Chain A
Amino acid sequence: MKKNKLVWLSSLILVLSIFLAACGGGDDKDASKDSDSKKDSGSPDATQELNIIESAEIPTMDSVLVTDVVGSTVLNNVNEGLYRYNEENVAVPAIATGEPEVNKEGTVYTFKLRDSKWSDGSTVTANDFEYAWKRAIEPKTGSEYGPYMMAGIIKNATEIGKGKAKASDLGVKALDDKTLEVTLEKPTPYFLSLMAFSTFLPQKEEFVKEQGKKYASNSETTLYNGPFVLKGWDGTGLKWQYVKNDNYWDKDNVKLDKINVDVVKEDQTAINLYTSGKKDRAGLSGEFAMQYANDPEVLKVVESSPFYLKFNQKREGKEETVLANANIRKAISMAFNKEDLSKAVLANGSFEANYLVPAEFAYDEDGKDFREVNGNMNKFNAEEAKTYWEKGLKELGTDKVALEFLGGDSDLSKKMDEYLKNQLEKNLPGLSIKLKEVPFLVRVDLDSKQDYDIQFAGWSPDFQDPYTFLNLWLTDGQQNKMSYSSAKYDKFMKDAETTFANDPAKRWQALADAEKVLIEEDAAIAPVYQRGTMALQKTYVKDLVKHSFGAQYSYKWAYISGKE
């Protein structure tokens, strides 16, 4: 009897405490909402200063050499090319006064430049573009993205890369100070979206030559024509500032006066700096994402990076693996629960993907998402997977398959690999997976040697078109270090690239068909998830634009309201 009373009492306390806790939480939320709405109605504060964190140093400010996210982000905010990505992630004219004139064949673009200035007061001319682009393609410069972005697109770029032509032969010409003519190798529908990429930024010839080796190696030896100028960057340091550029043509739309940046590599430190009010934004990854998932200050951001399993059909390019069997590949690609994986295992804002070309990335002329054309493919279905699996095993004449799974060595990838192994072995009887978890550089090395069975990999786009993902699996494609070759796929891609280059609707369909062949028909790769990220951001920070690929942020439109 006494015991019963005790149980009863303690359950009462428990129920009460849950109830009270819930009430407390509710009150908090209401309070913060109230102050939010008050802030929203307010106008910009008197002090326009933003405090942010970067995850790594700036390796270089030379726009033709930059390859990393931090460098690209800084360049995006201190320089400006012909185009710029706007608040809706669409490339719009920037230094170009408007849409260029294009000839009938779609191969010659003539851009008119607006009146704009460098931070030293000199005028930005068409020659600054011609010089920078030619510098990027010159093999001696050692630019990674120059030849990569221009080859096959801008006239003679491929030849220059092979050493068969000179950099001066590149199809770009300043007709006068304000007119730039670009000649393409062939019509390229996504050419204008390239114009917002850092490789195509202008550089002032006189200044670059004057600085020599020191060019763009610290904030004093760099020239700016964007919304902000860089201050206090010593070339290797962990801090720098952006200061509003008074020579910027659109300075009236720039509200922030100053942005203080510190490099913080430890997530916990970043969060502590955020909590203590020192910083206005902090990224959340791994376990922190889970911990703060319900915080009212959390922002979820979709990124344009798909992650997938690569099926190597020929080990080291020679010996055929069981993955050369289409049924086996199909079985594996449908045998794991992607939703649980992204929601429960990763829990960092990433979400299930049943496709290669990411959602919220590429749109047709009517603004319709590419994903609406192809929808989902090879969704998780354990039963169907098992049917394909048995069919495949029969074709191979075996009942046991052992495969090596190559993955990353971070805590999160290990957790994910474990989950995938477990799912695949459970749903596909007779399969045994051996995990091999290595650092990134090692994985790149093994990939190039085709020394793996299944590999977990991902890709981030270089320009805003499905082509940036789909061309990776052409027979000689860049990510195709897995001996996949489909005449049908190659044909669709060839059509998209050449035949339908000036016919957007048909081209779009050809790209969609190619994706269907790659994933649904051939199951050459198995999509896993599309990356999403989470960040804490103070509610007084407004209009800080996050891009889903390339440069991460634009601060041009950001402002502070309601901090004081």
Chain B
Amino acid sequence: MAKYVFKRVIYMILTLFLIASFTFSLMKMLPGSPISTSSKLTPNQLAAVEAKYGLDKPLPVQYGIYMKNMVKLDFGTSFQFKEASVTELIINRAGPSFILGIQALILGTIGGIILGMIAALRQNTAWDYGSTLIAIFGISIPSFVFASLLQYWIGVKGGFLPVGLWENGWKSSILPTIALAMGPLATSARFIRTEMIEVLGTDYITLAKAKGASGIEIAFKHAFRNALIPLITVMGPLAAGLVTGSLVVEQIFAIPGIGEQFVKAINVSDYSVIMGTTMFFSVLLILVIFIVDILYGIVDPRIRLAGGNKQ
């Protein structure tokens, strides 16, 4: 196990390095620079500003300096906010995004599991069709549409939850969480349903039934645990989906999150913020995937992470 974790960490660092290099070069290919809009600067001022941000050096040197600083967790200062350090910006903005992401993931998967199980256990009944319908809606309607609908009907028309902004504590997070959770909810409901139906048809379930185990016992103790494995597989991509979904949902609910800032930084070529947020998202995703892989071993002992069964 330790050997496996060590190997994975090396891979993770390598992945991050590649992502950083890739983003760096892509970003430099973006038309314009963070100070090109400043057509009002005189040539020697421009030189002074470029020197301040190190933009006067050749690209490979800039790259080298950037990578060196990144190792020290120094992502530089933002171009759009004068003298604001990118690390500080990310810390200030990550909170709301993190809360929304976690809540949506929990709500989405648990909700999805419940829906999926109901559908599987009551196969081909109204329960099944109902939950399938919800799943289809969740997959086919993008989160920003849900966000707008929730905001209008529950926030404006209903008036019992905040329309937007981040100031009523937990209450402010309910609507965006629901909007974000619809995707994961639909996906996990579908997976659980399919898997449960398959597992429920296997021999050992028949055996369990024959031994007189109760329906609930069978569903939870025997079927559910096996049905969970494919769901864990898709948790990584689901978490990635939440990140991209949050870019739009945060903007719609005017939430001071990191996703909203990511979009803006790209629009104004704020190099340091683009790099900083990209790395932040990458680390998060890589961590999620890593945790998922570890979880495998716990849920299903048949899956060996390290070469334990050498033949």
Chain B residues with CB below 8 A from A275, complex form: 156
0 or 1 for each of A439-460: is its CB under 8 Å from B? (1 = yes):
1111011001000000000000
Is A139 interfacial (CB-CB < 8 Å)?
A: yes
Pick the residue among A60, A144, A216 that contacts B38 (CB under 8 A): A144
Contact check, B44 vs A235: say whether CB atoms are below 8 A apart: no
Given A161-B42, A236-B89, the answer on whether A264 and B83 have CB atoms closer than 8 Å is no
0 or 1 for each of B66-98: is its CB under 8 Å from A? (1 = yes):
000000000000101111100011001100000
Binds B, one of A266-274, A380-388, A411-419: A266-274
Chain B residues touching A, range: 35 or more
Is A263 interfacial (CB-CB < 8 Å)?
A: yes
Is B41 interfacial (CB-CB < 8 Å)?
A: yes
0 or 1 for each of B27-49: is its CB under 8 Å from A? (1 = yes):
00011100011111110110011
> Among residues 218 to 266 in chain B, which have CB atoms less than 8 Å away from a CB atom of chain A?
251-254, 256, 260-261, 264
CB B205 to nearest CB in A, in angstroms, measures: 49
Pick the residue among B41, B49, B84, B156 that contacts A272 (CB under 8 A): B156
Contact check, A266 vs B31: say whether CB atoms are below 8 A apart: no
Given A236-B81, A266-B251, A266-B254, the answer on whether A144 and B164 have CB atoms closer than 8 Å is no
Contact check, B92 vs A265: say whether CB atoms are below 8 A apart: no
Contact check, B256 vs A140: say whether CB atoms are below 8 A apart: no
Contact check, B36 vs A441: say whether CB atoms are below 8 A apart: yes
Contact check, A59 vs B80: say whether CB atoms are below 8 A apart: yes
Chain B residues with CB below 8 A from A362, complex form: none
Chain B residues with CB below 8 A from A262, complex form: 165, 254
Pick the residue among B30, B48, B88 that contacts A139 (CB under 8 A): B48
Instruction: A148 to B39: give the CA distance in the assembly, Å.
Output: 10
Contact check, B40 vs A148: say whether CB atoms are below 8 A apart: yes
0 or 1 for each of A311-331: is its CB under 8 Å from B? (1 = yes):
000000000000000000000
Instruction: A139 to B253: give the CA distance in the assembly, Å.
Output: 41
**How many residues of chain A get a CB closer than 8 Å to chain B's CBs?**
47
Contact check, A276 vs B81: say whether CB atoms are below 8 A apart: no
Chain B residues with CB below 8 A from A217, complex form: 81-84
Given A163-B44, A237-B92, A264-B254, the answer on whether A269 and B163 have CB atoms closer than 8 Å is yes
Is A42 interfacial (CB-CB < 8 Å)?
A: no
Closest to A237 in B: B256
Is A368 interfacial (CB-CB < 8 Å)?
A: no
Closest to A53 in B: B254
Contact check, A444 vs B256: say whether CB atoms are below 8 A apart: no
Instruction: A235 to B92: give the CA distance in the assembly, Å.
Output: 10
Contact check, A140 vs B254: say whether CB atoms are below 8 A apart: no
Binds A, one of B123-131, B147-155, B287-295: B147-155
Pick the residue among B39, B48, B80, B251 that contacts A448 (CB under 8 A): B39
Is B269 interfacial (CB-CB < 8 Å)?
A: yes
Is B159 interfacial (CB-CB < 8 Å)?
A: yes
Chain A residues with CB below 8 A from B31, complex form: 439, 441-442, 445
Is B52 interfacial (CB-CB < 8 Å)?
A: yes
Chain A residues with CB below 8 A from B88, complex form: 235-236
Chain B residues with CB below 8 A from A213, complex form: 83
Closest to B148 in A: A268
Contact check, A140 vs B92: say whether CB atoms are below 8 A apart: no
Contact check, A144 vs B40: say whether CB atoms are below 8 A apart: yes
Pick the residue among B48, B151, B267 that contacts A269 (CB under 8 A): B151
0 or 1 for each of A109-130: is its CB under 8 Å from B? (1 = yes):
0000000000000000000000
Chain B residues with CB below 8 A from A445, complex form: 31-32, 36
Instruction: A491 to B27: give the CA distance in the assembly, Å.
Output: 45
Closest to B162 in A: A278
Is A67 interfacial (CB-CB < 8 Å)?
A: yes
Contact check, B44 vs A272: say whether CB atoms are below 8 A apart: no
Closest to B152 in A: A272
Chain A residues with CB below 8 A from B156, complex form: 272, 275-276
Instruction: A441 to B156: give the CA distance in the assembly, Å.
Output: 37
Pick the residue among A60, A142, A236 that contacts B45 (CB under 8 A): A142
Chain B residues with CB below 8 A from A441, complex form: 30-32, 36-37, 269
CB B171 to nearest CB in A, in angstroms, measures: 13
0 or 1 for each of B2-45: is its CB under 8 Å from A? (1 = yes):
00000000000000000000000000001110001111111011
Contact check, A62 vs B82: say whether CB atoms are below 8 A apart: yes
Closest to B248 in A: A266
CB B290 to nearest CB in A, in angstroms, measures: 30
Closest to A265 in B: B251
Pick the residue among A236, A272, A439 that contacts B93 (CB under 8 A): A236
Instruction: A441 to B84: give the CA distance in the assembly, Å.
Output: 23
Instruction: A147 to B46: give the CA distance in the assembly, Å.
Output: 12
Contact check, B89 vs A272: say whether CB atoms are below 8 A apart: no
A-B contacts besides A139-B44, A265-B251, A272-B164, 6 pairs, CB < 8 Å: A142-B45, A238-B166, A268-B151, A269-B163, A278-B165, A441-B30
The 4 closest A-B pairs by CB, nearest first: A441-B32, A60-B82, A238-B256, A148-B40
Residues of B within 8 A of A (CB): 30-32, 36-42, 44-45, 48-49, 52, 78, 80-84, 88-89, 92-93, 148, 151-152, 155-156, 159, 162-167, 251-254, 256, 260-261, 264, 267, 269
Q: List 22 A-B contacts (CB under 8 A).
A: A57-B81, A60-B81, A142-B48, A142-B52, A144-B45, A145-B40, A147-B40, A147-B45, A217-B84, A239-B167, A265-B260, A266-B252, A266-B254, A269-B251, A272-B164, A273-B163, A275-B156, A442-B31, A445-B31, A445-B36, A448-B39, A478-B39
